[in-house]
Structure 1
Amino acid sequence: MVTAYVMVKASTGDVDRLKESMLNLDDGVKSVSIVAGDVDFIVKADVESPAEVKTIAASIHEMSGIERTQTYIAMD
């Protein structure tokens, strides 16, 4: 099992729509939290392989209203 966190910066104020879109993206997406700070969302994914993490992160990055993403894979 691979656990990853995707930090997401939005370019729009439509956070509710973006949150729903990310939650419905893939069964591996376990949670989407709206946060204060340098990013707008933290997405937690639990998947079988790093390739699946890449797919989820790329899909988020391609969404309308997303400015940038950073992906971190947990080591433990």
Structure 2
Amino acid sequence: MTTTSISVDKKIRDKAAAKAKNDMISLSAVVRILLIDYAEDKIRIGSQSNQEFTIQRIEVDNETQSLMEDVITEWNKSSL
């Protein structure tokens, strides 16, 4: 096994180390598990918003609705 050094903010490292200790595993085991799962495409790195949004219904005419649907269709094609 090779040795790799990574830079991690001390607060994050300490918090992760405490959680790992509570889970009765080493911090290096946590890192190995995460790296293996990432390499095998079992986890994805991303971001999620925790903001709450207020939904508001806005009436539009048929022409505007059609234009918005066309935009969504094109957006969905480009995100594949």
Which band: TM-score by shorter chain? under 0.3
The structure, 1 or 2, with the larger RCO (C-alpha pairs under 8 Å, 6+ apart) is 1
TM-score by length of 1: 0.25
Task: Looking at secondary structure, tell me which structure has more strand per residue.
Answer: 1
Task: Give me the TM-score of the superposition, normalised by structure 2.
Answer: 0.24
Which is helix-richer, 1 or 2? Answer: 2
Larger radius of gyration: 2
